[in-house]
Amino acid sequence: MHELSLMESMLEIALESARDRGAQKIHQIDLRVGALSGVVPEALEFAFDACTQNTIAAGANLKIELISALCHCENCDREFSPPDIIYDCPNCGKISSKLLQGRELQLTSIEVS
Protein backbone atom coordinates (compact mmCIF):
# COMPACT_ATOMS: atom_id res chain seq x y z
CA MET A 1 0.00 0.00 0.00
CA HIS A 2 1.95 3.03 -1.20
CA GLU A 3 -0.53 5.40 0.45
CA LEU A 4 1.18 4.60 3.74
CA SER A 5 4.60 5.84 2.66
CA LEU A 6 3.05 8.84 0.90
CA MET A 7 1.16 9.72 4.05
CA GLU A 8 4.29 9.29 6.15
CA SER A 9 6.19 11.80 4.06
CA MET A 10 3.31 14.29 4.04
CA LEU A 11 2.86 13.95 7.78
CA GLU A 12 6.58 14.58 8.16
CA ILE A 13 6.15 17.92 6.36
CA ALA A 14 3.13 18.77 8.51
CA LEU A 15 4.92 17.96 11.74
CA GLU A 16 7.94 19.98 10.73
CA SER A 17 5.74 22.93 9.83
CA ALA A 18 3.94 22.64 13.18
CA ARG A 19 7.29 22.57 15.00
CA ASP A 20 8.40 25.69 13.15
CA ARG A 21 5.28 27.47 14.38
CA GLY A 22 5.80 26.22 17.93
CA ALA A 23 2.47 24.37 17.83
CA GLN A 24 1.42 21.83 20.45
CA LYS A 25 -1.26 20.17 18.40
CA ILE A 26 -2.32 19.68 14.79
CA HIS A 27 -6.10 19.90 14.38
CA GLN A 28 -6.53 19.58 10.68
CA ILE A 29 -4.50 18.63 7.64
CA ASP A 30 -5.66 19.60 4.15
CA LEU A 31 -4.59 17.63 1.12
CA ARG A 32 -5.21 17.97 -2.59
CA VAL A 33 -5.57 14.67 -4.36
CA GLY A 34 -5.84 14.45 -8.12
CA ALA A 35 -8.26 11.99 -9.70
CA LEU A 36 -5.35 10.47 -11.62
CA SER A 37 -2.82 10.55 -8.81
CA GLY A 38 -3.21 6.82 -8.35
CA VAL A 39 -4.04 7.33 -4.71
CA VAL A 40 -7.19 5.98 -3.09
CA PRO A 41 -8.63 8.57 -0.65
CA GLU A 42 -9.99 5.86 1.67
CA ALA A 43 -6.54 4.29 1.86
CA LEU A 44 -5.08 7.72 2.64
CA GLU A 45 -7.53 8.13 5.51
CA PHE A 46 -6.62 4.72 6.84
CA ALA A 47 -2.91 5.52 6.54
CA PHE A 48 -3.50 8.86 8.24
CA ASP A 49 -5.00 7.21 11.32
CA ALA A 50 -2.10 4.78 11.47
CA CYS A 51 0.64 7.38 10.93
CA THR A 52 -0.63 10.03 13.31
CA GLN A 53 -0.71 7.75 16.36
CA ASN A 54 1.61 9.03 19.08
CA THR A 55 2.21 12.30 17.22
CA ILE A 56 0.79 15.77 17.87
CA ALA A 57 -1.49 15.11 14.88
CA ALA A 58 -3.28 12.23 16.61
CA GLY A 59 -7.04 12.66 16.27
CA ALA A 60 -6.68 15.44 13.71
CA ASN A 61 -9.17 15.87 10.93
CA LEU A 62 -7.98 14.91 7.46
CA LYS A 63 -9.57 16.99 4.73
CA ILE A 64 -9.13 15.73 1.19
CA GLU A 65 -9.89 18.00 -1.73
CA LEU A 66 -10.38 15.94 -4.86
CA ILE A 67 -9.10 17.50 -8.05
CA SER A 68 -10.70 16.27 -11.24
CA ALA A 69 -8.52 15.50 -14.23
CA LEU A 70 -8.24 18.09 -16.97
CA CYS A 71 -6.50 17.71 -20.29
CA HIS A 72 -5.70 20.07 -23.14
CA CYS A 73 -5.90 19.02 -26.78
CA GLU A 74 -3.40 20.97 -28.87
CA ASN A 75 -5.11 19.86 -32.04
CA CYS A 76 -8.50 21.45 -31.22
CA ASP A 77 -7.20 23.87 -28.58
CA ARG A 78 -9.81 22.79 -26.10
CA GLU A 79 -9.90 21.29 -22.68
CA PHE A 80 -11.57 18.09 -21.68
CA SER A 81 -11.83 15.84 -18.69
CA PRO A 82 -10.18 12.48 -19.29
CA PRO A 83 -11.86 9.54 -17.56
CA ASP A 84 -8.61 7.64 -17.18
CA ILE A 85 -4.89 7.94 -17.68
CA ILE A 86 -5.25 7.63 -21.45
CA TYR A 87 -6.17 11.06 -22.64
CA ASP A 88 -7.77 10.93 -26.03
CA CYS A 89 -9.69 14.01 -27.07
CA PRO A 90 -13.47 13.41 -27.32
CA ASN A 91 -13.60 15.84 -30.24
CA CYS A 92 -10.83 14.66 -32.57
CA GLY A 93 -9.74 11.41 -30.94
CA LYS A 94 -6.11 12.47 -30.84
CA ILE A 95 -4.23 11.37 -27.78
CA SER A 96 -3.12 14.30 -25.69
CA SER A 97 -0.21 14.14 -23.32
CA LYS A 98 -0.85 17.54 -21.81
CA LEU A 99 -2.49 16.95 -18.49
CA LEU A 100 -3.32 20.29 -16.86
CA GLN A 101 -4.45 18.90 -13.54
CA GLY A 102 -5.38 15.62 -11.92
CA ARG A 103 -2.06 14.22 -10.72
CA GLU A 104 -1.78 16.38 -7.61
CA LEU A 105 -0.87 14.95 -4.29
CA GLN A 106 0.07 17.74 -1.97
CA LEU A 107 -0.30 19.11 1.47
CA THR A 108 -2.05 22.47 1.18
CA SER A 109 -2.44 23.61 4.76
CA ILE A 110 -2.52 22.62 8.40
CA GLU A 111 -4.41 23.99 11.38
CA VAL A 112 -2.47 24.06 14.59
CA SER A 113 -2.60 25.50 18.05
User: In which region does residue 59 sit, left (phi positive, over 0), alpha (psi from -120 to 50) or beta (all else)?
Assistant: left
- Three-class SS state of 47: helix
Q: Does 92 bind Zn ion (CB under 5 A)?
A: yes
Indicate the annotated binding residues: 2, 73, 76, 89, 92
Q: Which amino acid is at 35?
A: A
Containing H/E element for 31?
A: strand 26-34
Q: Does 89 bind Zn ion (CB under 5 A)?
A: yes
Interaction with Zn ion in 1-60: which residues (CB under 5 A)?
Answer: none
Q: Which residue is closest to Zn ion by CB?
A: 89
CB nearer to Zn ion: pick between 68 and 91: 91
Applying CB under 5 A, the residues found at the interface with Zn ion are 73, 75-76, 89, 91-92
